[in-house]
Amino acid sequence: MIDQFGRTINYLRISVTDRCNLRCQYCMPEEGVEKKKHRDILSFEEIDALVSKMAEMGVNKIRITGGEPLVRKNLTQLISMINRHESIREITMTTNGIYLAEHADALKSAGLKRVNISLDSLKPDRYQAITRGGDLSMVLKGIEAAKRVGLTPIKINVVLMKGINDDEIDDFVTLTKDEPIEVRFIELMPVGEDGHGSTQHYLSNTTVLDKYPNMKCLPKKDPSSPATYYQLPEYVGKVGLISPISGKFCEMCNRVRLSADGFLKYCLHSNEEIALKPLLKDEALLEHTLRRTVFMKPEEHQIDEGQFLNKHMVQIGG
28 binds, among ligand SF4, ligand SAM, none (CB under 5 to 8 A by kind): ligand SF4
Which residue, 175, 171, 235, 248, is CA-closest to 205?
248
DSSP class of residue 269 equals: T
**Residue among 118, 121, 205, 228 that touches ligand SF4 (CB under 6 A):** 118
Cβ nearer to ligand SAM, comparing 254 with 315: 315
Q: In 3-state terms, what secondary structure has residue 261?
A: coil
Q: Does 165 bind ligand SAM (CB under 6 A)?
A: no
24 binds ligand SF4 (CB under 6 A): yes
Residue 199 beta carbon to ligand SF4: minimum distance, rounded to whole angstroms: 18
Asked whether position 121 contacts ligand SAM by CB under 6 A, the answer is no
Binding to ligand SAM (CB under 6 A): which residues in 180-239?
186, 188-189, 191, 197
Q: Which residues lie closer than 8 Å to 292 by C-beta, 6 or more apart?
A: none
Q: Peptide bond preceding 69: is omega within 30 degrees of 0, i.e. cis?
A: no
Q: Which residues, numbered 265-294, are part of the site for ligand SAM (CB under 6 A)?
A: none
Q: DSSP H helical segments within the chain, as ranges? A: 44-56, 75-83, 100-110, 124-131, 136-149, 169-174, 206-211, 283-295
Indicate whether 68 belongs to the interface with ligand SAM (CB under 6 A). yes
Binding flag, residue 190, ligand SF4 (CB under 6 A): no
**Cβ closest to ligand SF4, residue 262 vs residue 318:** 318
- Per rule CB under 6 A, is residue 259 in the interface with ligand SF4? no
For the CB of residue 98, give the shortest distance to ligand SF4 in the complex, in Å: 8
In angstroms, what is the minimal distance from the CB of 94 to ligand SAM?
4
Which of 173, 295, 187, 306 lies closest to 241 in space, CA to CA?
Answer: 187
- The window from 65-73, 174-182, 213-221, 296-304 that contacts ligand SF4 (CB under 6 A) reads 65-73
Scanning 20-28, 107-115, 274-282, 290-298 for contacts with ligand SAM by CB under 6 A, the matching segment is: 20-28
Which is nearest to 217 in space by CA: 203, 238, 237, 192?
238
Residue 239: beta bridge partners? Answer: 183, 230
Q: Is 160 helix (H, G, I), strand (E, B) or coil?
A: strand
Tell whether residue 96 is a contact of ligand SF4 (CB under 6 A): yes
Does 316 help bind ligand SAM (rule: CB under 6 A)? yes
Q: Total number of residues binding ligand SAM (CB under 6 A)?
A: 21
Strands 61-65 and 11-15: parallel
- The candidate with the shortest Cα–Cα distance to 145, out of 94, 93, 108, is 108
CB of 281 to ligand SAM, least distance (A): 30
